[in-house]
Structure 1
Amino acid sequence: MANIIDYIAWRGDLPFSVVPFNDIDSLILCQISYLDFGGIVSESFKECVTLKDAAERFRSAKDFSARRKVGAMINSLTADLLFAAAFSRRFGDVKVCGYTTRFDPKKEEQFSAMTFLTGDKHAFAVFRGTDDTIIGWKEDFNMGVLETVPSQIDALRYLTEAMKSIRTRFRTGGHSKGGNLSIYAAANIDPKFKKRISCVYNNDGPGFREETVASPCFRELAPKIRSFYPQLSIVGMLFSHAGSYSVVESEQSGIMQHDPFSWHLTKDGFVSLSGFDPASKWFHDTFNAWFLELTDAERSRFVTTLFKVLEATDAKTNSELEKNWWQNSAKIVGAFAKLDGPSRDNVIKAVQLLFQIGHRHWTQVQFLPSGDSKKNRR
């Protein structure tokens, strides 16, 4: 089946004036945002460069080999996607500006964003998803513990500044954590700006605390949210969500379905399914039911404990963790053995749920019927 690079081969010669901006175009630009455009795309919203020029600068950069490496959890074809898009008629003249990136271990924040001017009277503010850093993943889990995390606050600030500077209609979106950030920013932005937002694209992003989703600003935004999840979603099943959604067929297994390159599509859109794999729905219902039973203090302790175990390896990224896996495994076991009883029990519960979803996926046991792919709430 075809992927997002194949789509550019099919549609790359057609400008947005002929075939309007769609869900797949959104996903392509969201994936491109994982690349490091520091020194290539300006932080200013007033200084733009075409995507073609940005790609040429990216390829000619002295540290090109380092820039194209996006880590263990992000597809290595991302730079190839940039070049395919940049040298197509459809994306080449898209203007790029407002590139910003922030990484603060003390604040437990990983944040990056950039804005695309698509030439169809819209700007598209894209928030980067969880990158290769372990801090980035910890911030994901903090979304179920804290009312707000640092990257959500920065996303709201970024979208506000972008809409002040670029006086046109906006789309916003992201993949993984970027989808969560786009929803948070669009939901909480000043109403005078919210009226100019046409659509919010959430591609397998984690959810929010239940009380956040139930708030009036989220309910008001829900009709504008377009959420897409692979048939076996794990990241996207975390916590609570707002708005309707579609389930996309994927060629990968388990958590690797989180990779947008694995999502099947045609020239007209994603290959949609009637519902999630039973294992995915089981994980959503079981993990969130367990997590909601914890008090706020217990949730915080669980996240702190889980990542304290990982920090015992001294690895800062998933790539480092994977590279020295056997040595790091021993350190993880050692750190785990030192935990107190309640903390150890909660980590065991979370790990058991992840193993069980893998087992249920591979055996295809029908524990729960798949829901319809279009719902108001999960």
Structure 2
Amino acid sequence: MYTIFDYVEYYRHLDTADAPWNVMDCLLCSVLAYVPAASFEDEKDIDEFISYSEAYSENMENGLVTQVYELLTLIKGSIRYGNMRVSNFINLRSDKTQFGAVTFRVGKNVTVSYKGTDYALIGWIENMRGAYQYPTATHSLAISYLDNVSLYSDDVLYVCGHSKGGNLAMAACMEAAGEKLAVMDDSLESPGKMTRNDSVKASGAETKDGSVKVSGTVTGAADCLFDRIKKIYNFDGPGFRKDEYDQVKFALMAEKLTTIVPTDSVVGVLMNNNTDYVVVKSNSIALGEHNPTTWEVFGQCFVEGRLSNISRRLHTNTTKGVENISYDTMKLAFETIFENLNHEYAADFKLSFGQIVTFYRSMKNIDPEIKRGMDQIIEAVLSLEFMK
């Protein structure tokens, strides 16, 4: 069956006037956010970006590196992506956060793509912190990034990301929606309001100037960022706490949101999100379905499938199943788990069977309700693995 590789191969000869920018192009951008290169601010044309990226091809920091370079080879010399400009590439890993983002421009279309979790343990930790904390450090960086990038263009924005990157795309756009609501209410005390400065400061993850530094020329961009966002694509990324999900700003953001998950989704069904997913078939199985380059496509559409019962149970267990557990209880339990792992936060922690066992052993002496919930998640993951 066809995949994103076939889409790029076929559409590489068509410019965006013949075949408008669409969800498949955003999926491509979401995968390219995983280029394992060092950060840069300046704008590069696509050939410069490919040459720059090739110097880092041996850096196997995430599970999509091989596919990333295959796609870079396909788009090289193409008509569709030949005038692509790449800027504000961020690839950050520390003991406090793991964050990546990149901006692509093709004609009048600007696509902001957020990177998902790489092999760093802190990336997995931040994913779990999302169950009891908002914003996390990486949320704050994502919100700041979109805000700053928007200053340098009046053009239409697509915002997307895979895995954690999809969650970051939603968070950044949700706060943009909150600002629109605040303007509509003409009050700084609006329930839907949370400024980007507040968000960055809340996590303590700000850079020296309190934001994510990006480059470009300020253009006098439109006052309402949210109105310039055309589409938000969440490629198998998790949702939010009920507190965020129930807010008006989430509902406004969701009007522009499409969430795509594979039939055996383990990540995209977690926590609270709109459940009118686009469910896509994959040519892989089990956890391999999380890799978006395995998703089946036909032209500009996904080949739709049916969400598995395991994925449905995971969604229920991480939404209704935790409704009576306080955020403080979750925080105490998860932070205890992280300490018990006895592993450097910035170091690699690959989600292998052995690492799952290590994680399970770290759950001693935590709240029994949370342990029961984690047992259910681990059981579901292992069930999918044993289906291989």
Give the match's secondary structure for 2:370: helix
Aligned position for 1:85: 75
Contact 1:52 1:93 in 2 (8 A): no
Contact 2:35 2:53 in 1 (8 A): no
Contact 2:337 2:362 in 1 (8 A): no
1:30 maps onto 2:30 in alignment: yes
Cα distance in structure 1, aligned partners of 2:314 and 2:286: 12
Aligned position for 2:2: 2
What do the CA deviations read for 1:115-148 (whole angstroms, capped 9, x no partner)? 00021x2211111111111110110111111121
Trace 1:357-372 onto structure 2 (pairs within 5 A).
Answer: 358-359=382-383
1:221 maps onto 2:262 in alignment: no
What TM-score results when the alignment is normalised by the length of structure 2?
0.80
Q: Which letter maps to 2:162? A: H
Q: Which letter maps to 2:51? A: E
1:182 maps onto 2:172 in alignment: no
Trace 1:91-170 onto structure 2 (pairs within 5 A).
Answer: 91-105=81-95, 108-119=96-107, 121-170=108-157
What TM-score results when the alignment is normalised by the length of structure 1?
0.82
Aligned position for 2:45: 50
Aligned position for 1:351: 375
Gaps of 5+ in 1: 364-378
Q: Which letter maps to 2:154? A: R
Gaps of 5+ in 2: 181-223
Q: Which letter maps to 2:317? A: T
Closer, same or farther: CA 334–235 of 1 in aligned 2, 3 Å: closer
What do the CA deviations read for 1:54-103 (whole angstroms, capped 9, x no partner)? 102322x2x5422xx233x4353222112212332212321111112332
1:344 deviates by 6.7
1:21 deviates by 1.0
Give the match's secondary structure for 1:115: strand
Aligned position for 2:18: 18
Cα distance in structure 2, aligned partners of 1:356 and 1:168: 43
Q: Which letter maps to 1:355? A: E
Closer, same or farther: CA 266–345 of 1 in aligned 2, 3 Å: same
Question: Which one of 277, 287, 293 corresponds to residue 318 of structure 2?
Answer: 287
Contact 1:283 1:357 in 2 (8 A): no
Question: Which one of 338, 342, 358 corresponds to residue 307 of structure 1?
Answer: 338
Cα distance in structure 2, aligned partners of 1:318 and 1:116: 30
1:244 deviates by 4.1
Question: Which one of 226, 236, 240 corresponds to residue 268 of structure 2?
Answer: 236
Cα distance in structure 2, aligned partners of 1:176 and 1:360: 18
Contact 1:278 1:361 in 2 (8 A): no
1:201 deviates by 0.9
Cα distance in structure 1, aligned partners of 2:47 and 2:297: 25
Contact 1:186 1:221 in 2 (8 A): yes
1:35 deviates by 0.9
Cα distance in structure 2, aligned partners of 1:332 and 1:224: 36
Contact 1:75 1:259 in 2 (8 A): no
